[in-house]
Structure 1
Amino acid sequence: MTTPCSTTTTPARFLLLGDSHAGCVGQAARAAELPFVGGPLGSGRDFLGPFFDADGTFRREEPQRLYREFLDTLDVSGLAAMSIPVVCTFGLSAHTVATRQNWDLYRDRHGTVPDTFLDSRLFTDLVRATVRGALAFYDHAVTLGLRVLAPLPPQRVPGTSDPDVFFAAQDVVVDELTARGVELIDLRSRVADATGLQRPAFCKVDDTIHGNLAFGRLVLSELLDRGL
Structure 2
Amino acid sequence: MTTPCSTTTTRARFLLLGDSHAGCVGRAARAADLPFVGGPIGSGRDFLTPFFDVDGGDGTDGTDVGFRDPEAGRLYRGFLDTLEVAGLAGLPVPLVCTFGLSAHTVATRQNWDLHRDRHGTLPDTFLHSALFAALVRATVRGALAFYDHTAALGLRVLAPLPPQRVPGMSDPRVFHAAQDVIAAELTARGVELIDLRARVTDAAGHQRPAFCQVDDTIHGNLAFGRLVVAELLDRGL
TM-score bracket relative to the smaller structure: over 0.9
- 2:155 maps to 146
Structure 2: how far apart are the matches of 1:5 and 1:210? Answer: 20
Structure 1: how far apart are the matches of 2:72 and 2:3? Answer: 11
Where in structure 1 are there 5+ consecutive unaligned residues? Answer: none
| Shift, 1:143, TM fit | 1.1
Partner AA of 1:161 in structure 2: S
Taking only aligned residues, the RMSD between alpha carbons, in angstroms, comes to 0.8
Instruction: Provide runs of 4+ in structure 1 moved above 3 Å.
Output: none
- 2:139 maps to 130
Other structure's SS at 2:53 match: coil
Partner AA of 1:3 in structure 2: T
Residue 34 (str. 1) matches residue 39 (str. 2): no
| Shift, 1:5, TM fit | 3.7
- TM-score, normalised relative to structure 2: 0.94
Where in structure 2 are there 5+ consecutive unaligned residues? Answer: 56-64
1:192 to 192, 195, 201: 201
Other structure's SS at 1:53 match: strand
Change (3 A) 1:40 1:87: same
The alignment of Structure 1 onto Structure 2 pairs a total of residues equal to 227
Q: Is the 8 A contact 1:15 1:86 kept in 2?
A: yes
Q: How does 1:72-83 map to 2 (within 5 A)?
A: 72-83=81-92
Other structure's SS at 2:67 match: coil
Residue 59 (str. 1) matches residue 58 (str. 2): no
| Shift, 1:83, TM fit | 1.5
Q: Could you tell which deviates more after superposition, 101-110 or 164-173?
A: 101-110
Q: Is the 8 A contact 1:5 1:39 kept in 2?
A: yes
- 2:228 maps to 219
Q: Is the 8 A contact 1:51 1:60 kept in 2?
A: yes
- TM-score, normalised relative to structure 1: 0.98
1:167 to 176, 186, 192: 176
Other structure's SS at 1:35 match: coil
| Shift, 1:72, TM fit | 0.4
| Shift, 1:181, TM fit | 0.5
Q: Is the 8 A contact 2:10 2:35 kept in 1?
A: yes
Structure 2: how far apart are the matches of 1:82 and 1:39? Answer: 16
1:96 to 102, 105, 112: 105
Cα deviations by residue, 1:44-72 (Å, 9 ceiling, x for unpaired): 00000000112210011010000000000
- 1:106 maps to 115
Q: Could you tell which deviates more after superposition, 7-16 or 77-86?
A: 7-16
Q: Is the 8 A contact 1:83 1:146 kept in 2?
A: no
2:213 to 195, 204, 209: 204
Structure 1: how far apart are the matches of 2:225 and 2:40? Answer: 13
Q: Is the 8 A contact 1:7 1:33 kept in 2?
A: no
Partner AA of 1:191 in structure 2: V
Residue 14 (str. 1) matches residue 14 (str. 2): yes
Q: Is the 8 A contact 1:95 1:157 kept in 2?
A: yes
Cα deviations by residue, 1:103-137 (Å, 9 ceiling, x for unpaired): 01111122111111101111000000000000011
Structure 2: how far apart are the matches of 1:187 and 1:214? Answer: 12
Partner AA of 1:135 in structure 2: L
| Shift, 1:4, TM fit | 3.2
Structure 1: how far apart are the matches of 2:231 and 2:2? Answer: 24
| Shift, 1:3, TM fit | 2.6
Q: Is the 8 A contact 1:97 1:127 kept in 2?
A: yes
